[in-house]
Chain A
């Protein structure tokens, strides 16, 4: 199975600060169809996960553009440009290139 390693496990930020979360894969996530199926999810406290970014860098509809994704092959990054209070929660990367689909262990974002 593909192992996704997220760092850091916890992150503390002030409002307006920019932060980044890393997700490293044990295998290349470049699919034979040319796409890279690496998504980012946010789970706010007490809520279900929500999709933020799909296929590395595509912003899901309705998601603020302070969120951005980048990377390729095995190294991926989620950046929040100007953290807001509503951004607190746990961020997960997940891959859908290789079966079984797998998730990272999560990065908890706290607001100072």
Chain B
């Protein structure tokens, strides 16, 4: 059974940094591009970026490129999202996805507030 399990969300203050993780199982993680997508409280979906199966290439939404970094550790079947200088508008549920959006995690909620 395919599973993607995100963690690392929570309440953070504006300007802080946060690192989200997504542990994959049930498929060969190192064979797939992986993505991060977020959903705001108002249910708007936003693509954050993706990373090639070997970690050698990343793409980002231009509006997030300077603050968010995607990485992966194929030995641990884990995808990461490093968020820096977070803002209130980063408040959202963050999902990792794979296999061209066929696989989704349960999401982890990030709330940015002082």
Task: Give every chain B residue within 8 A of A76 (Cβ-Cβ).
Answer: none
Q: Is B104 interfacial (CB 8 A cutoff)?
A: yes
* Interface-side segment among B18-26, B73-81, B95-103: B95-103
- Chain B residue at minimum C-beta to C-beta distance from A99: B59
- Chain A residue at minimum C-beta to C-beta distance from B95: A48
The A-contacting residues of B in range 86-110, CB under 8 angstroms, are: 95, 100-102, 104-107
Task: Give every chain A residue within 8 A of B102 (Cβ-Cβ).
Answer: 51, 54, 60-61
CB distance from B80 to the nearest CB of A (A): 19
For the complex, count residues of B whose C-beta is within 8 A of A. 18
The B-contacting residues of A in range 53-75, CB under 8 angstroms, are: 54, 60-61
Residues of chain A touching chain B, judged by Cβ–Cβ distance below 8 Å, are 39, 41, 48-51, 54, 60-61, 90, 92, 94, 96, 99-103, 105-106
> B105, A102: Cβ atoms under 8 Å?
no
Question: Which of A96, A103, A106 touches B100 (beta carbons < 8 Å)?
Answer: A96
